[in-house]
Amino acid sequence: MDKAEEDALFFQQYRASENSGEFERRVWPYVKQVFLYEDPVRQEAARKSVPVDEVEEKALVSLAKIDMDPRLKKHGLRPYDGIW
């Protein structure tokens, strides 16, 4: 059973049960973590502290290196074709 199937089963079990309090107790810490990413103040602070241009440039260089990998070219594949 893969992770997605496990998650679906988990949600199904708790949705079907009358014990929604238990479900909320187990899920809420993760929901709070997700909310941190949605906070506009935190997003702006992150944008100011991370050199976005430099990170994007490094990412492009890394992608170019992967794109030139002869093992991929041999099979006509690119790293973003869903094989990773």
Closest CA relative to residue 80, chosen from 56, 64, 70: 64
C-alpha dist (Å) from residue 82 to 13, 23, 78, 79: 31, 33, 9, 7
> Tokens representing 41?
């103040």
Mean pLDDT per block of 10 residues along the chain (84 residues) reads 74 64 84 90 92 91 78 67 52
Q: CA-CA distance, 40 to 22, in Å (whole number)?
A: 30
Torsion sign (Cα): 54, 56, 61, 62: positive
State the pLDDT at residue 18. Answer: 59
Query: Six-digit token pair at 55?
Result: 């990170």
Structure pTM?
0.39
